[in-house]
Amino acid sequence: MIALTIAQLAHAIAGETRLTAGDTPETVVSGLVDTDSRHIGPGDVFVAKPGDVTDGHLFVEAAASAGAALAIVERPVEADVTQIVVPDAVAALADLAREVVKRARDAAAQRGDTLEVVGITGSNGKTTTKNLLARILEGEGETIAPKASFNNEVGAPLTMLRVTERTRFLVSEFGASAPGEIARLAGLVEPDVGVVLMVGMAHAGGFGGIEATFHAKSELVRAIRSGGLAILNADDARVAAMAPIAAEQSAGVRWFGRGPAATDVRADDVVVTASGTSFVVTADGESLPVRLRVLGEHHVMNALAAIASATALGVSPADAVARLETVEIAERWRMQPLGSDRVRIINDAYNASPDSMSAALRTLAQITGPGERTVAVLGAMSELGEYAEEEHDRVGLLAVRLGIQRIVVIGSDARRMYLEAVAQGSWDNEAVFFETADEAFHYLRGELRDGDRVLVKSSNSAGLRFLGDRLGESFS
């Protein structure tokens, strides 16, 4: 975090200061900000956020013992640390993030420099695109990007608060499960560049349908500052329909995709293998070969979005491609290769939606060669609401139509996949169902054989990412 006095901090979050001995309103604080006391070190700021499971106020003393310079609390706590008392710790976190980014921008402007803020949203691909773009931008200067999927009302501000006076790029990932959330988060920083990847069925239950999802994702475009730039997926009709919104914001549009409408950054000659995906990218008229090591054809679009953003920010296409090619995996539990050449496990069970489930199954079919066997280990897709049954049926149907040779479905919420697979012809033990991951693990330990290519895919709540880790270790 940029350096602020306690008085400046308290003013930014409209809090009441309770000083400990040795501190004054002019005491400077510049450490990291976190809501987890286990991550607090000397000089850091601890935010005591009440939670569903526990209450951060119970850990203020632990943060003080770890050397915290300050605690932001909703009620005073008996602990040897200066505290700023606020009505709502999460709201204070947002207010502080807004202030810190504004000051960092002002400081950069005074130096004749800029702090460029990029916001990324979409039903799928946010975290991968964020990681790819951050890898490219790191070669240009200090770049701050979220850890893992820090994209909600707590994670996004925590990322923003990591900016310093030296930061050149802030890459923010914006997720949402209800209307208005992206508007609130993006409104904290008013991005210079807003990237919209796709509008799909992820979280459709929370939004109330695909059109409501469109309006929620378009909130990022509405938040772009005047004179900024929207990076839009030309292949997605709903994303393309956001161009007039960008015009309303006096923002330009830069198009990426694989079709003819992708006039700025386009991919051709896509070839998918078990070791990655190759394609030719044309960026602003310059064509270059790309060898992306991240598994899955669907990640081509994420790479194009990253290239479109980076080149808009002044990175040459050649440098963008060279840095992209150093990325080995998108993120842990996202198309992560495990196991061995004998039995390859692809652990993609951090998140799942109908679109990402379809993409992962197609990738499994594409990368499995002659004499090898496809095995799909599938769990539930969450947050689909009234669409859950229909969408789980579609996955079961797709798995059969792709010729997946073993379909292993886990958990009662995913059972529709199994039933549909059986109904579509997988009745000779090609499809099996287990209530628990432990039962499935013991089955797979005896079932998997040399030449198997195994996809483990589910939403985070299903917990199958840990099953994927166990399988990877067992067949390493």
Annotated binding site for ATP: 122-128
Q: Which letter does DSSP use for residue 331 in this model?
A: B
Sequence letter at residue 375: V
Rounded CA Rg of the chain = 24
Give the residues across from 171 on adjacent strands.
Answer: 118
Q: To 5 degrees, how large is the angle CA 397–CA 399–CA 400?
A: 65
Per DSSP, the three-state class of 169 is strand
**Which helix H or strand E contains 290, and what residues bound it?**
strand 286-292
* Residues 7/26, Cβ–Cβ less than 8 Å: yes
Give the residues across from 5 on adjacent strands.
Answer: 28
- Which tokens sit at 126? 């946010």
Residues 6 or more apart from 351 whose CB is under 8 A from it? Answer: 149, 202, 334, 459, 460
Per DSSP, the three-state class of 53 is coil
Give the residue among 30, 39, 49 at the shortest CA–CA distance from 163: 30
Give me the helices (H) in 316-448, please: 317-324, 354-367, 388-401, 415-423, 437-447
Torsion sign, CA atoms 44, 45, 50, 56:
positive
* Residues 120/131, Cβ–Cβ less than 8 Å: no
* 189-219 core/surface letters (b: 16 or more CB in 10 A; e: else): bbbbbbbbbbbbbbbbbbbeeeeebbbbbbb
Sequence letter at residue 291: R
Sequence letter at residue 242: M
Tokens 């199994």 belong to 418
* Residues 230/194, Cβ–Cβ less than 8 Å: yes
Residues 6 or more apart from 292 whose CB is under 8 A from it? Answer: 276, 277, 278, 279, 299, 300, 303, 324, 325, 327
Q: Which residues are annotated binding-site positions?
A: 122-128
Distance CA 82, CA 70 (A): 5
- Which tokens sit at 317? 């296409």
CA–chain centroid gap for 236, Å, is: 19
- Which tokens sit at 392? 């789980």
- Which tokens sit at 184? 């609130």
